[in-house]
Structure 1
Amino acid sequence: MLPQRRSAQDAATFRTPRRVLVVDDSRMQRRILSAQLTRAGYEVIEAGSAEEAIAICAEIEPDIVLSDWMMTGMTGIEFCRIFRGMDRSGYGYFVLLTSKNDKNDISYGLESGADDYLPKPVNGMELRARLAAGERILTMERELQEKNRMLSSTLRELQGLYDSVDRDLTEACKLQQSLVKERYRSFGSAQVSLMLHPSGHVGGDLVGFFPINARRLGLYGIDVSGHGITSALMTARLSGYLSGSSPDQNIALIQTEYGIYDARDPAELAAFLNALVLQEMSTDSYFTLIYADVDLVSGRVALVQAGHPYPAVQRKSGEIEFLGTGGMPIGLIDDAEYETITTQLAPGDRLLLASDGITEASSQHGLLLAEDGLARIMRSCASLRGPAFLDAFYADLEKFTGGQLSDDVSAILFEFDGAKQNAD
């Protein structure tokens, strides 16, 4: 009666004694080898032919096979080839027994799939030494197999976690995009357009606008350091500080004694936000800010640049000017000082507030877009307006980088066509 076939798990974790299949058409040779192996502590199975051995191997998985080379019917070489093609849960160590001593014959046997060979008649000490070497190989193979099994299991678990995180990030992306409630709004003879493209599922850029009063508008761009979830959470927190739907919670707004809203001076807002972040947020993150207070009637712009790229004004004539002198990011040092700068927009002028994902975009040759490249793209898109301008701008930016944008990209476009009608 044949021993029961082992499961894959049993084969990977079995313990001694090893199971050895002895294949020889000489009953005497089988008995001699079996006696030697049994005394050495092995579990022995005998087969009188290669055909019988194949049937045994189909039912069980011997750890080691000792097969005579020359046998009636199928030879040991032919058996070895079939053995190597059998479906097994683990490796089987195959030793050819032969009276051949020609090196070419030995090489042929090893090339056919045998792991080792023993000359006949078999010396007991040499047999045990060769099998000990085979056992070491089997042990290493089984250990590697078990480690691979554990690794595969771990990778499946990690893939499940990744898929879960990926689904969560996809939903987070939708939520972050919803923070930009309006991508475009017309104010009669002026209009605002917004662009936001995270480099991953979620990003650290945020753009928006809010009414200050009947004739003034607040525009802001934020770029939190780093990428990913931490940056996205911080942008969500900051969006509440500059909310257009809840003016009583907007830190840029102050209510006058007459019950109407006015706005903090841009430099004062940056300093206030800097102190607020350092006091209330326990984080190593910081962010750059561009904030502009725009008068829809006169075209006057007051703005603060806190680490953000230089604001660009494109005049009706096509001439481009860059404003500002830089400034410290928000949330880096206590008592940082900021400066309010002003400019005057005439009818037909436009103001672009862009993030460093644009100015620091790199071509395939390692060249930065910088202010010169930004101005070049603005000129190429000069005939377009509103969202169409920003779409064309982004397409040109992608072309410049070869589609390899590595940072979040955001921008605010304010276009001024003249005094707002019926303004209070």
Structure 2
Amino acid sequence: MFAKKLNIDTSSTKFHTIIIAILCMIIIMFVRFSSLFNVFLDQQLFLVLHTIFEILSVLVSFSIFLALYNIYDFTNSIRNVIFANTFYIVGLLDIMHFLSYNGMPMFLTENLSQKATAFWIFARIIMALGLLFANIFEKETISKINKRYFILLSTIFTIVLGYLVIYNSSIIPTFFDEKTGLTSTKIVLEYIVVLLLVVSMYLIYKTSKEKNSILTKHMLIAITIAIASEITFTMYINVHDSINLLGHVFKVISYFLIFRVLFIENIKDPYRKASEMREQLNNHVIRLEDIAKQKTKEMAIANYKLKNMNNKMLKELDAAKQIQMALVPKKYENHLGVKFYSEYIPWGKLSGDSYKYFKIDEKNLGMFLIDVSGHGVSSAMLTIFADRVLTPFDAEGEEDKEFYLNPKEVLKDFYEVFNESDFPEETHMVMLYGVLNIETSEFTYSSAGLNCNPIHIKNDGKIQLLELKDGFPICKLGSIFVPDYHNETIKLGLEDRILFFTDGVIEETNNTNEQYGLSRLKVLIKDKYYLNSKGLLKKICDDLTEFRGEAHMEDDITMYIMDFTKR
């Protein structure tokens, strides 16, 4: 009720930390100022309880060390390796602390309160510094140093420190006097530890990405209790009194909370997330299977028409010549106001080249250019097959129209249909399929291995080759390879033109076996770009004839110009 009136968020990390701090201080004050403060436990009972609490602390310390040390190979986290080695050293020092405690059997040298207190204060300082330095680094900061070097240095440091405390105690400051109790040095160092822990809390809260997460809360609460523990160790008079025992209780609780945070953060959470990801992946697989079934059904319907066309085409092979010539566009055609001019010169009676332009809807024109391997009847049959499959004779539905508006999908589908046919394994073809949107003036196209880049002739005479991605030819390799085709789009200006042609144009040879070449074609276009499309095609044909001379044609010559003039 009071929290609501004061507009306090009772779920926040700050609120929980403050509450724990207040509770700890109440407990400390109660013990300090009550008759319990003057209770001195029986030495043997205290040693039993003290040993139990210290062993619990050591077990937790080594659990933190082993967990983080062993996952270092997978995370290389500098933050975790600092935590691991901090609690490794602290665990060893805590062992030396309770073995050196006054009343325990002699540990190497006579057990005095000074020796046990020295191990205690050094362990606390190292823990505070370890927490501080670990939280300076982000979780993602990695180290390439072998973890064995860290453990080696930590072991050497602990051995040296233990040796100095046990055998050279004269160089160690006095922390406990058997007559007067705690020294000012011990008390000052305890408050320095408290200060380091407060700074660690600030760094943890400041750098935490989720300040109100359960892990952040528990870590700050753990350090708060550790601070309470350090404060109690500035108050005791006798090493066997109740306030001393309370400090050990706080210490064990703090260690357990730190262990819980580091265990969840580095071991439990990753496994939980991995389990969730596996479950999500399984769900995705199930959804993908459903989608695949649906798409397969849709493609089966779409391919049904194509297969019917294919079957009809195979029955009409005996009329190949007549059909092929009937399929070739006229030398001049106009579709939706876009003019097309063409020249088609077969190498023999039948050609292995094919081209076409057609209306898809009221604002889109489709077109393709095909060059089949070889010559003669088999090549001509392939061009008829391609024409029947690629021309949308009955693209009345929106689904059909969308299909023909996507060049790369048309090529992919054509590749699959071709592989389902009974044509010989060695047959193949290269081609280009494009769509012109007359409203946006955008020409989108995709290549299936065409080796002749169409030439974009701008209205100012500048020319530019259209980029062709390395599309895979249409061939009978569908059982081992399914290619990906790519769409390219260019913007046409008013009165721009595009010249499409097969390799028969630039590979035309003369008596000296010299090829006509792309460079010569580009020079001719630059010089004669002012001619209209019909005149430019005639000029190219005349130049080819002059270049060839008395040599015989070696390939089909096919070319057409798409003239995007004002309608």
TM-score range, shorter chain: 0.5 to 0.7
Following superposition, the deviation at residue 187 of structure 1 comes to: 4.2
1:393 and 2:540 aligned: yes
- Equivalent residue number for residue 266 of structure 1: 407
Following superposition, the deviation at residue 417 of structure 1 comes to: 1.9
1:277 and 2:418 aligned: yes
With over 3 angstroms needed to count, the CA separation of the structure-2 counterparts of 1:183 and 1:326, relative to structure 1, is farther
Provide the C-alpha distance between the structure 1 equivalents of 2:453 and 2:529, rounded to a whole number of angstroms.
Answer: 19
1:353 and 2:506 aligned: no
**Partner deviation per Cα, 1:267-293 (whole Å, 9 max, x = no partner):** 111111111101223322111111110
- Equivalent residue number for residue 330 of structure 1: 474
With over 3 angstroms needed to count, the CA separation of the structure-2 counterparts of 1:415 and 1:299, relative to structure 1, is same
- Equivalent residue number for residue 406 of structure 1: 554
Provide the C-alpha distance between the structure 1 equivalents of 2:384 and 2:401, rounded to a whole number of angstroms.
Answer: 27
1:202 and 2:350 aligned: yes
1:186 and 2:328 aligned: no
Provide the C-alpha distance between the structure 2 equivalents of 1:263 and 1:187, rounded to a whole number of angstroms.
Answer: 16
- Equivalent residue number for residue 216 of structure 1: 364
**Partner deviation per Cα, 1:341-376 (whole Å, 9 max, x = no partner):** 111110121011110111222233333233212212
Provide the C-alpha distance between the structure 1 equivalents of 2:347 and 2:334, rounded to a whole number of angstroms.
Answer: 28
Contact 1:220 / 1:291 at 8 angstroms: preserved in 2? yes
Provide the C-alpha distance between the structure 2 equivalents of 1:351 and 1:373, rounded to a whole number of angstroms.
Answer: 17
Contact 1:196 / 1:207 at 8 angstroms: preserved in 2? no
Other structure's SS at 2:408 match: helix
Contact 1:310 / 1:322 at 8 angstroms: preserved in 2? yes
Contact 2:436 / 2:443 at 8 angstroms: preserved in 1? yes
- Scaled by the length of structure 2, the TM-score of the pair is 0.40
Other structure's SS at 2:475 match: coil
- Equivalent residue number for residue 398 of structure 2: 256
Contact 2:360 / 2:401 at 8 angstroms: preserved in 1? no
**Partner deviation per Cα, 1:304-333 (whole Å, 9 max, x = no partner):** 121211111011121111112342211243
Moved more, 172-181 or 204-213: 172-181
1:340 and 2:487 aligned: yes
Contact 1:191 / 1:386 at 8 angstroms: preserved in 2? no
Contact 1:310 / 1:326 at 8 angstroms: preserved in 2? no
RMSD: 2.6
Q: Which amino acid in structure 2 is aligned with residue 255 of structure 1?
A: G
Moved more, 195-204 or 384-393: 384-393
**Partner deviation per Cα, 1:202-248 (whole Å, 9 max, x = no partner):** 1111111110111110111111100001101111111111236x234
Contact 1:194 / 1:413 at 8 angstroms: preserved in 2? yes
Q: Which has the higher contact order (CA 8 A, sep 6+)?
A: 1
1:234 and 2:375 aligned: no
**Partner deviation per Cα, 1:381-405 (whole Å, 9 max, x = no partner):** 4233233332222121122222532
Instruction: Give the aligned length.
Output: 244
Following superposition, the deviation at residue 172 of structure 1 comes to: 5.3
Contact 2:320 / 2:384 at 8 angstroms: preserved in 1? no
Provide the C-alpha distance between the structure 1 equivalents of 2:354 and 2:331, rounded to a whole number of angstroms.
Answer: 12
Following superposition, the deviation at residue 200 of structure 1 comes to: 0.6
1:382 and 2:529 aligned: yes
Which is higher, the Rg of structure 1 or of structure 2? 2
Contact 1:306 / 1:338 at 8 angstroms: preserved in 2? yes
Contact 2:363 / 2:439 at 8 angstroms: preserved in 1? yes
Q: Which runs of 5+ in 2 are unaligned?
A: 1-316
With over 3 angstroms needed to count, the CA separation of the structure-2 counterparts of 1:299 and 1:281, relative to structure 1, is farther
Provide the C-alpha distance between the structure 2 equivalents of 1:299 and 1:223, rounded to a whole number of angstroms.
Answer: 27
Query: Equivalent residues in 2 for 1:9-28 (5 A)?
Result: none
Out of 300, 306, 320, the position equivalent to 2:463 is 320
Query: Equivalent residues in 2 for 1:272-311 (5 A)?
Result: 272-283=413-424, 284-308=426-450, 309-311=452-454
With over 3 angstroms needed to count, the CA separation of the structure-2 counterparts of 1:370 and 1:325, relative to structure 1, is farther
1:369 and 2:516 aligned: yes
Contact 1:203 / 1:227 at 8 angstroms: preserved in 2? yes
With over 3 angstroms needed to count, the CA separation of the structure-2 counterparts of 1:342 and 1:206, relative to structure 1, is same
Provide the C-alpha distance between the structure 2 equivalents of 1:293 and 1:260, rounded to a whole number of angstroms.
Answer: 11
Contact 1:221 / 1:412 at 8 angstroms: preserved in 2? no
Work out the percentage of aligned pairs sharing the same amino acid.
Answer: 23
- Scaled by the length of structure 1, the TM-score of the pair is 0.53
